[in-house]
Amino acid sequence: MEKTIINTTNAPAPIGPYSQAVRAGALLFISGQIAINPANGNIEAADVIGEAHQVMHNLKTILTEAGMDFGNVVKTTIYLSDMALFTMVNEVYGKYFHGEFPARENVAVKGLPKNVNVEISMIAAG
């Protein structure tokens, strides 16, 4: 199976030894994205709602680079710094999908990179 690395300057550069996304056959695996503004590398969101929108924007640009959109997403994983943030993040997340939603899980974790509150990874098929 052929493997292709997907990278775009419209999403944050990886902050470790990983790729933004990897296409393997018809599947696209997108690494977890946090609320980094790709234009300057900073986290500018004032709250978890702003973070969630920036994360979804970053994911959208990676999907676009791969020739896909949120309609291709089949699975997501949402990592939260606190389950009390679930409702706010869920509301933002839901605005980016139309019709059928992908499978997903939400996990509360002890900490996330750069002390953010939300990180989301995706698997898309196309």
Structure tokens at 33: 């994205």
Distance between CA 7 and CA 49 in Å, rounded?
26
* The predicted structure's pLDDT at residue 99: 83
Measure the CA–CA gap between 90 and 86, rounded to whole angstroms: 6
Q: What is the pTM for the complete model shown?
A: 0.96
Provide the pLDDT confidence category of residue 29 given band limits of 50, 70 and 90. very high
Q: pLDDT tens digits for 43-94?
A: 999 999 999 999 999 999 999 999 999 999 999 999 999 999 999 999 999 9
Q: What's residue 53's pLDDT? A: 98
Q: Is 42 left (phi over 0), alpha (psi -120 to 50) or beta?
A: beta
Helices 86-94 and 48-65 meet at what angle, rounded to 10?
Answer: 40
pLDDT value for 121: 98
The CA distance from 92 to 97, in Å, is 10
Report the pLDDT value the prediction gives residue 1, as an integer from 0 to 100: 78
